[in-house]
Amino acid sequence: MTAYDPDNIFAKILAGDIPSVKLYEDEDTLAFMDVMPQAPGHLLVIPKAGSRNLLDADPAVLSKLMPVVQKLANAAQEAFDADGVFVAQFNEPAAGQTVFHLHFHVIPRHDGVPLKPHAGGMADVDMLKAQAEKIKAAL
Ligand code: AMP
């Protein structure tokens, strides 16, 4: 297993070195909008503790993280009046992982609407901020 690299982009977001459109924060967890959304409302939930992915995460960290994933999934569903919510998490490049700090994708889904490609185009930040306000209002 490759060691955790504290220089990854989500560690920089946690350190405040690069901006993000934040949705929720507590002592252990941060949620923010994905900059390359696969559908409106695509967000990410990350632990503040560093792990490369699920495989090396401390179970105690996971036990605090998953209730926040659930909270954000419910808020995203309500905010976007979604028919369902896709929750995804990739481990290592072979599984599609591109950022090596544990994160859960939360994506509102609507019947018959396909997902856009993973890590496709960058979204307009003002649009992400408007979507974030809707999700925060549903929290
Ligand atoms: P993956 O590691 O494959 O699960 O995906 C990483 C996700 O992080 C992708 O959906 C990217 O769009 C997203 N992403 C990459 N950089 C940023 C960033 N600076 N802020 C928010 N989301 C990001």
Q: Does the Cβ of 9 fall within 6 Å of ligand 1?
A: yes
Q: How confident is the model at residue 16 (pLDDT cuts 50, 70, 90)?
A: very high
84 backbone dihedrals φ, ψ, rounded to 5°: -165, 175
Q: Does the Cβ of 96 fall within 6 Å of ligand 1?
A: yes
Q: How confident is the model at residue 118 (pLDDT cuts 50, 70, 90)?
A: confident
Q: Whole-model pTM?
A: 0.98
Q: What structural domains does the chain harbor?
A: 9-138 (3.30.428.10)
26-83 pLDDT, tens digit per residue, is 999 999 999 999 999 999 999 999 999 999 999 999 999 999 999 999 999 999 999 9
Ligand 1 atom showing the smallest separation from residue 32 Cα = 21
The DSSP secondary structure of 22-42, one letter per residue, reads: EEEE-SSEEEEE-SS-SSTT-
